[in-house]
């Protein structure tokens, strides 16, 4: 028995060693590989050469070699494949080029370079011999070659040298040759538009249109449209949009009835990186009150009425309308006399984002209540903006508005002076300043009825005894409500949600309208709490500001995730369940931020 047990232990240790050895072998197999493959090493001058650079891990900053003696007719074409087999992941990424020789002779295709996991890898150079033309070139195009030649994703940028905060339109078009047909596609990598304020313009129908690409007839489909407002000067990169396209490619084979046989291929296409040279706004002639508005605007200050009585209210409206970055600057504030009670303004935004940029109007509505009789001027205020078409600053001034309070108490001389000192106008006193006080009260005599011993006397005597149980019950009820910490948190969260997310809640079930309203509610909350310029609304800036305010990192990340969902939802399918989750998450995040801010 002891011998059997000792043999079992020996075999068990051998099994463990074998497992560790095989695991070590698997780890060795996962080493990084980066190599160059050639379709042939000897070809005629009328043939084509396919060069492919493959790697088993994702890399960055790919730098191809100079193809001396060859002309690139196609490429780089990028292909990615990933799969799981028996719990093991396999990954492959490649860049391929199609070359045609420009002369006869021996040529060397030198090293390609790429960075993988922070280290630089290079391929080995390879030699290629180009001979005289051959009678039957053995370079029949593969299905992938045909797909590469007939499929192109292009990012068309309206302006490559815009001003800071000037609208730039990017349209992504997929050009397809009539020789092939696209069956489906899916996005692989959506650009994040760092350092830009971005707004997607939904593409409702993917209608094919006729056009040209590099002088050849093509059909194209608009896949994505986005309006960008650069938020800093200098060279800014627009990340590429990458798609996996499924196409049907005709072959030279035919079926039993003579029809051409098609073969399906999957190709990865990318629009490529685009760089914008963003110009800073000129310092020469910049007004002192310039707040970052760029576009073409109209400015006005108006009052709902100019004559009223004390304790009545009027609405003072500061409005800017036109075309430009309407969501990205702060409205000027009116200078109202101190004798007028002014409430926090209500922000009103009626802005549409079209393919050319934002247009519409934004306004602040102030509720103003005068306390004393007299005349109160609302002085003229100014608004400045930069017009990128004329390349000049423009300053607009509002008209002065005079408010007359007809009836009410007379203010003291100190209040009058403080209220009107800026414009050297004083409240005009009249002889009727105490006309609202009655000097003849018309009093009547009290009757001979005695209160003591009456029914009213006993009612008031025993009423407190009846109110004691009601007071005790009310006190316990309030104590129970106060002790319900979770319930109170929910109530406060719901109150904040109703204030900032009411529009979003109404649009639940309508994806585009819901996420536009949700994003607007989140932005308005930060405006109200932090009093920051809306031109600073980049995700990095928001993260930095919340970090300075000692907001918990998880709450900041939750807020940024919601803004990201608002952007992604405009061109990605989001379910009603996801919308409900985002609404509840927004309510929770606003509640947490409110406690910390």
What does the CA dihedral 414, 415, 417, 419 come to, rounded to 10 degrees? Answer: 160
Residue 302, burial from CB neighbour count under 10 angstroms (0-12, 13-18, 19+): middle
CATH of 485-596, picked from 1.10.10, 3.40.50, 1.20.950, 1.20.120, is 1.20.120
Within 10 angstroms of residue 209's Cβ, the number of other Cβ atoms is 10
Within 10 angstroms of residue 422's Cβ, the number of other Cβ atoms is 12
Tens-binned pLDDT, residue by residue, of the chain (597 aa): 555 555 555 655 555 555 554 444 444 446 888 999 998 888 888 788 889 999 888 888 889 999 988 988 877 877 777 777 766 777 888 888 888 888 889 999 999 999 988 889 999 999 999 888 776 565 556 777 777 788 889 999 999 999 999 999 999 999 998 888 888 888 877 888 889 999 999 888 888 899 998 888 999 999 999 999 999 999 999 988 888 888 888 776 776 666 777 777 777 788 877 899 999 999 999 999 999 999 999 999 999 999 999 888 999 999 999 999 999 999 999 988 888 889 999 999 999 999 999 999 999 999 999 988 889 999 999 999 999 999 999 999 999 999 999 887 876 544 444 444 444 343 444 444 455 555 666 666 655 556 666 777 777 777 777 788 888 878 777 777 666 555 555 455 455 556 667 777 777 777 778 878 888 887 777 777 776 655 456 777 788 888 888 888 888 888 888 888 777 776 666 667 777 888 888 888 887 877 777
Rounded distance, CA 147 to CA 267, Å? 7
| DSSP bridge partners of 172 | 155, 224
Q: Give the pair of three-digit tokens for residue 221.
A: 């489909």
For the chain, count helices (H), then strands (E).
9, 30
Rounded distance, CA 126 to CA 137, Å? 22
What does the CA dihedral 573, 575, 578, 583 come to, rounded to 10 degrees? Answer: 100
Q: What is the DSSP letter of 103?
A: S
Q: Give the pair of three-digit tokens for residue 207.
A: 């209608």
Q: Give the pair of three-digit tokens for residue 12.
A: 């068990």
pLDDT of residue 514: 80
Q: What is the DSSP letter of 311?
A: T
| DSSP bridge partners of 340 | 370
Rounded distance, CA 375 to CA 379, Å? 13
The overall pTM is greater than 0.85: no
CATH of 146-278, picked from 2.70.98, 1.10.3470, 2.60.120, 2.60.40, is 2.60.40
pLDDT of residue 117: 85
Q: Give the pair of three-digit tokens for residue 395.
A: 């300053």
What does the CA dihedral 8, 12, 15, 20 come to, rounded to 10 degrees? Answer: -160
Look at the alpha carbons of 491, 495, 496, 498 in this order and tell me if their dihedral is positive or negative.
positive
Who contacts 13 (Cβ-Cβ below 8 Å, separation ≥6)? none
Look at the alpha carbons of 481, 487, 492, 494 in this order and tell me if their dihedral is positive or negative.
negative
* Domain definitions of the chain by residue range: 34-139, 146-278, 295-423, 485-596
Residue 435, burial from CB neighbour count under 10 angstroms (0-12, 13-18, 19+): exposed
CATH architecture designation of domain 295-423: Sandwich (2.60)
Q: Identify the CA nearest to 214 among candidates 152, 121, 306, 131.
A: 152
Who contacts 458 (Cβ-Cβ below 8 Å, separation ≥6)? none
Rounded distance, CA 240 to CA 253, Å? 37
Angle, alpha carbons 145-149-154 (nearest 5°) = 135
Cβ proximity of 559 and 542 under 8 Å:
yes
Owner of token pair 């009260």? 441
pLDDT of residue 453: 66
Q: Give the pair of three-digit tokens for residue 230.
A: 């650069």
Within 10 angstroms of residue 140's Cβ, the number of other Cβ atoms is 8
Identical fold for domains 146-278 and 295-423, yes or no, is: yes
Owner of token pair 């397809």? 176
| Pairs from 85-90 (Cβ < 8 Å, separation ≥ 24) | 88/26, 90/56
CATH 3.40.47.10 fits 34-139, yes or no: no
pLDDT of residue 423: 41
pLDDT of residue 162: 95
Helices (H), 352-484: 413-420, 455-483
Pairing of strands 314-324, 357-370: antiparallel
pLDDT of residue 32: 86
pLDDT of residue 429: 47
Cβ proximity of 180 and 150 under 8 Å:
yes
Look at the alpha carbons of 252, 97, 218, 188 in this order and tell me if their dihedral is positive or negative.
positive
Rounded distance, CA 393 to CA 53, Å? 53
pLDDT of residue 421: 41
Q: Is 399 helix (H, G, I), strand (E, B) or coil?
A: coil
Rounded distance, CA 255 to CA 594, Å? 69
């Amino acid at each position: 028995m002891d011998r059997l047990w000792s043999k079992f232990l020996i075999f068990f240790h051998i099994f463990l060693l074998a497992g560790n050895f095989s695991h070590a072998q698997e780890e060795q197999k996962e080493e990084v590989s980066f190599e160059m493959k050639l379709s042939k090493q000897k070809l005629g001058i009328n043939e084509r050469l396919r060069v492919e650079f493959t790697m088993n891990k994702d890399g960055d900053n790919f730098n191809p070699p100079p193809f001396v003696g060859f002309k690139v007719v196609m490429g780089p074409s990028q292909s990615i494949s990933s799969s799981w087999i028996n719990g093991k992941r396999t990954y492959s990424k490649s860049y391929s080029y199609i070359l045609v020789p420009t002369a006869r002779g021996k040529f060397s295709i030198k090293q390609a370079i790429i960075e993988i996991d922070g280290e630089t890898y290079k391929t080995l150079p390879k030699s290629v011999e180009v001979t005289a033309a051959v009678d039957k070139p053995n370079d029949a195009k593969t299905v992938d070659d045909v797909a590469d030649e007939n499929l192109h994703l292009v990012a068309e940028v309206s302006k490559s040298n815009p001003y800071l905060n000037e609208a730039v339109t990017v349209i992504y078009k997929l050009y397809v040759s009539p020789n092939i047909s696209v069956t489906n596609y899916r996005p692989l990598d959506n650009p994040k538009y760092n350092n830009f304020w971005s707004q997607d313009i939904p593409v409702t129908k993917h209608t094919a249109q006729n056009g040209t690409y590099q002088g050849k007839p093509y059909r194209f489909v608009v896949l994505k449209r986005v309006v960008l407002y650069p938020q800093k000067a200098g060279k800014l990169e627009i990340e590429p949009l990458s798609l996996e396209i499924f196409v049907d490619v005709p072959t030279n084979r035919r079926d039993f009835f003579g029809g051409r046989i098609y073969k399906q291929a999957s190709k990865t296409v990318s629009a490529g990186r685009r760089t914008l040279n963003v110009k800073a706004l000129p310092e020469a002639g910049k007004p002192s009150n310039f707040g970052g508005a760029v576009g073409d605007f109209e400015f006005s200050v108006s009052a709902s009425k100019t004559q009223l009585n004390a304790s009545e209210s009027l609405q003072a409206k500061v409005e800017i309308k036109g075309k430009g970055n309407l969501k990205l600057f702060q409205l000027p504030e009116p200078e109202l006399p101190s004798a007028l009670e002014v409430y926090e303004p209500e922000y009103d935004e009626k802005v549409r984002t079209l393919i050319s940029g934002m247009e519409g109007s934004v306004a602040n509505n102030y509720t103003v209540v005068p306390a004393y009789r007299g005349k109160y001027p609302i002085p003229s205020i100014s608004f400045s903006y930069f017009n990128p078409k004329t390349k000049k600053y423009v300053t607009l001034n509002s008209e002065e508005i005079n408010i007359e309070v007809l009836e009410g108490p007379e203010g003291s001389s100190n209040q009058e002076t403080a209220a009107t000192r800026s414009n050297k106008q004083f409240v005009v006193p009249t002889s009727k300043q105490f006309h609202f006080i009655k000097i003849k009260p018309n009093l009547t005599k009290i009757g001979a009825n005695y209160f003591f011993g009456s029914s009213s006397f006993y009612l008031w005597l025993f009423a407190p005894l009846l109110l004691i149980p009601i007071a005790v019950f009310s006190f316990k009820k309030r104590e129970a409500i106060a002790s319900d910490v979770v319930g109170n948190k929910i109530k406060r969260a719901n109150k904040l949600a109703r204030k900032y997310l009411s529009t979003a809640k109404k649009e639940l079930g309508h994806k585009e309208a819901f996420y536009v309203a949700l994003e607007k509610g989140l932005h308005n909350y930060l405006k109200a709490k932090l009093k920051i310029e809306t031109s600073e609304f980049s995700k990095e800036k928001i993260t930095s500001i919340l970090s300075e305010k000692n907001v918990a990192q998880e709450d900041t990340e939750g807020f940024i995730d919601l803004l990201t969902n608002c952007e992604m939802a405009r061109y990605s399918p989001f379910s009603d369940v996801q919308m409900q989750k985002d609404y509840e998450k927004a309510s929770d995040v606003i509640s947490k931020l409110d406690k910390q801010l």
